[in-house]
Amino acid sequence: MAALTDLSDIINRLTGGNSGTPEIVNVYIDNRAAGAAATATVAGRLTSLWQYQKMPGGEGAAPTTSAIPVNDTPGAFFQTDPGGGRDKWLLGVVGHSSQGGTLTIYDRLVHQGGLSGTATGEQTTNLPTTALTRYSGTASVGNFIGIEIYGQIGTTARTITVNYTNQAGTPTRTTKAIDIGATGLREAQRIFICPLQDGDTGVRSIGGVTLSGTTGTAGNFGVFIGHPIISIPMPTAGIATVRDLITGLPSVMQVLTDACLSAYWMPNATTAPQINLQLSMIEA
């Protein structure tokens, strides 16, 4: 592992010098999932692209027991791992979408499924989540909790809270209640990011999930822990956006070994997007 020293070092590694191992990952995300059209998006509601069909890699499966997805788990972007004890660095991203919205790339650290939209007590099926292998321990600062719907739940509006262990290792913390269920908040591929308890800045594990009442349909949903990498605004259908991390904010980002790069989408419209991405990475 070595730090990137300056622009010259980056240029040298980006052209293959000093074991830079440059890699440009091209990703195409199709607006279909599990052999059917993806669920229509809702403006202002997050959509998970985990199960969208992709090149490379295929599509993510709905998880059951808690599992740690990695860089070559279908659903991820399939970048290669760094070799020789080096670290991997993201230098920039270019993206385009057929629909307006904002794409966020994150490292999907752990996920599970099999939760029910009708159970009213705390649900611990397939929980607690497996111990993190990336952004673990005190490095869990910045980790977020997502709830992801895999099979449509019911039409009754409810709220949901998550019992978790925070960045300091303190268990039985409880997220703020957020809405779930009813139209726009119940369909497959919808996700919700949970606001943490006051004072918390990250998450190490999830222990349980509680609905305020039944939504009316069991469906299937789960929780995951992610770590944000970068957001790419694509505000208008058709526009391509360049995020250069050398000359622009937030700066060059580390991509951890085995990182399961995936994405979620904040849509401006109701048509599921098709997205092309390029990510440039080097090792140091």
Q: Is 2 in the site for other proteins (CB under 8 A)?
A: no
Please identify which residue in 64, 72, 151, 233 interacts with other proteins, judged by CB under 8 A.
72
In this structure, how many other beta carbons lie within 10 angstroms of the beta carbon of residue 174?
15
Q: Is 58 in the site for other proteins (CB under 8 A)?
A: yes
CA distance 142 to 230: 13
* Nearer of residues 31 and 126 to other proteins, judged by Cβ: 31
CA distance 48 to 264: 4
Q: Is 132 in the site for other proteins (CB under 8 A)?
A: no
In this structure, how many other beta carbons lie within 10 angstroms of the beta carbon of residue 169?
11
Q: Which stretch binds other proteins (CB under 8 A): 5-13, 38-46, 133-141, 257-265?
A: 5-13
Within the chain, residue ranges assigned H as helices are: 7-14
Please identify which residue in 39, 48, 53, 112 interacts with other proteins, judged by CB under 8 A.
53
Sketch the per residue contact string, 216 through 255, with other proteins: x for CB under 8 A, - otherwise: --------------------xxxxxxxxxxxxx-------
Q: Is 276 in the site for other proteins (CB under 8 A)?
A: yes
CA distance 167 to 159: 24
Q: Is 96 in the site for other proteins (CB under 8 A)?
A: yes
Backbone angles phi, psi at 235, to 5 degrees: -65, -20
Q: C-alpha distances in angstroms, 125 versus 139, 207, 223, 225, 228?
A: 27, 10, 11, 16, 26
Placement of tokens 């290792």 in the chain: 169
Q: Is 30 in the site for other proteins (CB under 8 A)?
A: yes
Q: CB of residue 244 vs other proteins: minimum separation in angstroms?
A: 5
Q: Is 20 in the site for other proteins (CB under 8 A)?
A: yes
CA distance 60 to 51: 4
* Nearer of residues 51 and 163 to other proteins, judged by Cβ: 51
Residues in touch with other proteins (CB under 8 A): 7-18, 20, 22, 24-26, 28, 30, 32, 35, 37, 53-59, 72, 74, 78, 91-96, 98, 236-248, 274, 276-278, 280, 282
